[in-house]
Amino acid sequence: MSTSPPVNVTEQLTARGRAIEEGSFAIVDAEARGHHWAEAPWQVVRRIVHATADFDFVTATAMSDDAVTAGIAAIRAGAPIVCDVEMIAVGLSKPRLEHFGCRTHVHISDPDVIEQARAENSTRAVMAMRKARTQLHGGIVAVGNAPTALLEVCRMVREEGILPALVVGVPVGFVSAAESKEEVLTLPVPHIVCRGRKGGSSIAVAALHALLALAEAQENTETRKAVESA
């Protein structure tokens, strides 16, 4: 185990930035007092509320008992992150991803995906998930825009035995958005969703950034213990 000093890639880099962020989190904690969340999953929910200023997500967010643990383990293992749209990939911090060796994969605009969607009268989102089959198995999938992408992931889990390390399913919208997230809740894989019509790429980004911060905190705790015992 490395005994190098703890790193800081997930926190604000200036004192002023940290003060603003910590003040925002303190307001969320105060206004959501009495919530049912345990400490680790609350870090995910709190960051979603922070990103949206919408306290509905305190109750709308749902996750499996192993979601946070599985997400942290996948990140620390450098798992690929499959996104339904470029907006999620752009929103994720490159230094944070690079620290853990994670890479994002977005196939929705690939020419072969577009061609196949037209040929099968399907959606690009569906074909993009099919193309990402090998990245999905053991990887993290983040869907913030396309319910059809999330439904396809559900089908692949059930029919093909594809097992993502974590499914972050938070598509926004009116057609199949709520239904796709309810389907995720029945999957035998770790998952985080926000029930109902609300969602979006910013929700997926917030959840993943929370997991990145938790992964770094775990890593730094281990590093400090190793230094102290050396």
Which residue among the candidates 36, 50, 99, 107 is catalytic per the annotation?
50
DSSP for the chain, written as a single string: ---SPP--SSS-SSHHHHHHHHHHHHHHHHHTTT----HHHHHHHHHHHHHHT-TTHHHHEEE-TTHHHHHHHHHHTT--EEESSHHHHHHS-HHHHHHHT--EE--TT-HHHHHHHHHTT--HHHHHHHHTHHHHTTSEEEESS-HHHHHHHHHHHHHH----SEEEE---SSSSHHHHHHHHTTSSS-EEEE-SS---HHHHHHHHHHHHHHHHHHHHHHHHHHHHH-
Place of tokens 């907006």: 87
Q: Is 107 an active-site residue?
A: no
Q: Which amino acids are annotated catalytic?
A: 50
